[in-house]
Chains A and B, each alone.
Chain A
Amino acid sequence: MHYGFLTIYWRDMIRFLRFKTLLISSLIQPALWMAFFGIAMSANFDRLGASIPPIPGVPEVQYLTYMAAGVIAMTVLFTSLFGGIVLLFDKNWGLMREIMASPLPRDQIIFGIALSGMTKSFIQVIIVMVFGLLIGVTFFAGYSIGHTVVALLGIMLFVGMFSIGFLFFSAAISISMETPEGLQGIITLLTMPIFFASNALYPVEAFPPVLQAISTVNPLSQLVNGVRYFAIGDNFTTMGIHYVYTTAEILLSFTILVIFAVAMFGVAWWRFKKAVVT
């Protein structure tokens, strides 16, 4: 077992903790989504949902709680997609030549970046959750302490697997691109469909078939499923729609995330093998 990735991890975390503005701005965005979009839409959706009679015995959750899972997923998506950008900066102005000329195996660079990106995601998820709970998100309602701990671990498992996949992907593009603008372009291009063709903000049941199919395999939808399952429960209604998650469905979601991460590692490995930095 090689521990070289810890060197990359150590250095990336130094930078993360040093640049407080980056940390803070990455937290403000999800907070704003919840505070503005969430509260505003909540008022609308909940009024619509009110016209549909509740199903006896099934808890009803507010839209704000429903979309909080989506906002958490979005935060992780953005952080992870940009997680590899340090590699690009290093390539153009920094330490990449030194790293590439050192005896450190290249897969260790990928692992190091993935691990630090994952750590950042965990920190953000916790902060976003705390903020959500403060403004009225009803996560973990009626849970015992033990149940809450298990739910938190489950959420982190999903967040970790999801973020690793996108970090591998981000590392792969970063090492292949020449300029930060190019990377930014690709990421912006990808975030739209990933974010909106998912169940992060609204139910996908009314989507046209093609969009529905995309959203069903979309890794972001899998993460949202996982977060909702653990934070809200396996049986609830929102906006008049009845959600039931079976264990099999959740396992399938997690499996899709694992497959995605493995595939993205393959892509990153291939790009790093081919990368020439002089």
Chain B
Amino acid sequence: MSTSIIEVKDLEHQYGDFKAVDGISFTVGKGEIFSFLGPNGAGKSTAINVLITLLKLQKGEASIAGYDVRTEPEKVRESIGIVFQEVTLDRDMTAWEILEFHGRLYGMTRSDRKERIQEILELVKLEEKKDTFVKKLSGGMKRRLEIGRGLMTRPIVLFLDEPTIGLDPQTRMRMWDYIKAVNEEGTTIFLTTHYMDEADNLSDRISIIDHGKIIASGKPWELKNALGQDLIYLETSDNSKTRAIISDLVSVSGVTDKGKGILITTNDDGTKVLPLLIEEIRNSGISVITVNLKKPSMDDVFVHFTGRELRDDKPEKISIAFGRR
């Protein structure tokens, strides 16, 4: 991680009056998997589109693999691979044709294309689907084909914009394995996601982005540690009184209202703190209705930093709930 592959400083991007990206700065080191985590509309895709030169760089500075995004877009294009958020395939072409087209587009020689297509089909396990039309491939296969295509030219950085959107839980996990395998081969990966578990599982480092700004950055465990060791959720007969009683305790690092109860972050092992808390509350004549203890998840981290749950992505939430165990 000594050299940085992506360097971004004070990047801004505006659509009319709306500032989609509002002054973000970050670096991504060689060989890292770096994630932008944020809700839909947070500015993730806009930022990625500026970096891959599909959108003009309006304000700020950005370089990829040592090339300036503003002044050397051609060089940037040659150094990167991209997997777009929406499917970007021709339904009426075969898997082989999709890869061949891509290789030609990037000016690869005939022999290089031939060799590389074979390697890619093996990597994404589509050898047998080589001559199958895209419209006959499953969602996961299409995604794999797109990832394979992104890797055709042996890019230094692979950009993945919401790589597992719309995939079923099992396929998502298999996608994660592919992404990790690609990374282990030495490709730096920049991904955007609004799935907490995806960012948590894949990334070496995460930047949480909301309203066009980076509001927290770090390794997944660092972000989670910012919330204390454990989380305790309590519903009592008198929440406000409970808050007053426990907020002074040494083992409690913070208390916030959540739904019908309160959420407590602890400084100490939650399993030991919880009995003490309940005793204290009972002694004050308050009864405890519901108790829940858990390790902080990325969801909690997100809520902690943004003060709210991920917005406008209800359908996906259901699939997350099923996907996790």
- Chain A residues, CB < 8 A from B78: 103
- B88 adjacent to chain A (CB < 8 Å): yes
Chain A contributes a number of interface residues (CB within 8 A of B) equal to 25
- Chain B residues, CB < 8 A from A10: 101, 104
Closest residue on chain A to residue B97 by CB atoms:
A14
CA–CA, A74 to B262, complex, Å?
Answer: 75
Among B49, B82, B93, which residue has its beta carbon within 8 angstroms of that of A14?
A: B93
Q: Which residues B51-77 have CB closer than 8 A to chain A?
A: 52-56, 74, 77
Among A6, A7, A277, A278, which residue has its beta carbon within 8 angstroms of that of B45?
A: A278
Q: Which residues B227-241 have CB closer than 8 A to chain A?
A: none
CA–CA, A99 to B54, complex, Å?
Answer: 10
Count of CB-CB pairs between chains A and B under 8 Å? 65
A98 lies within 8 A of B54 (CB): no
- Chain A residues, CB < 8 A from B92: 15, 18-19
- A104 adjacent to chain B (CB < 8 Å): yes
- Chain A residues, CB < 8 A from B88: 94-98
Known: A101-B82, A103-B77. A11 touches B49 (CB 8 A): no
Chain A, interface SS category:
helix
CA–CA, A10 to B98, complex, Å?
Answer: 12
Closest residue on chain B to residue A92 by CB atoms:
B86
Closest residue on chain B to residue A18 by CB atoms:
B92
- Chain B residues, CB < 8 A from A61: none
- Chain B residues, CB < 8 A from A98: 82, 84, 88, 102, 105, 149
Closest residue on chain A to residue B55 by CB atoms:
A278
B93 lies within 8 A of A103 (CB): no
Q: Chain B: residues with CB nearer than 8 A to chain A?
A: 45, 49, 52-56, 74, 77-78, 82, 84, 88-93, 97, 101-102, 104-107, 149
Q: Chain A: residues with CB nearer than 8 A to chain B?
A: 4, 6-7, 10-11, 14-15, 18-19, 90, 93-104, 276-278
8 A-B pairs with CB atoms under 8 Å apart are: A11-B101, A18-B92, A96-B88, A97-B84, A97-B88, A101-B77, A102-B77, A102-B105
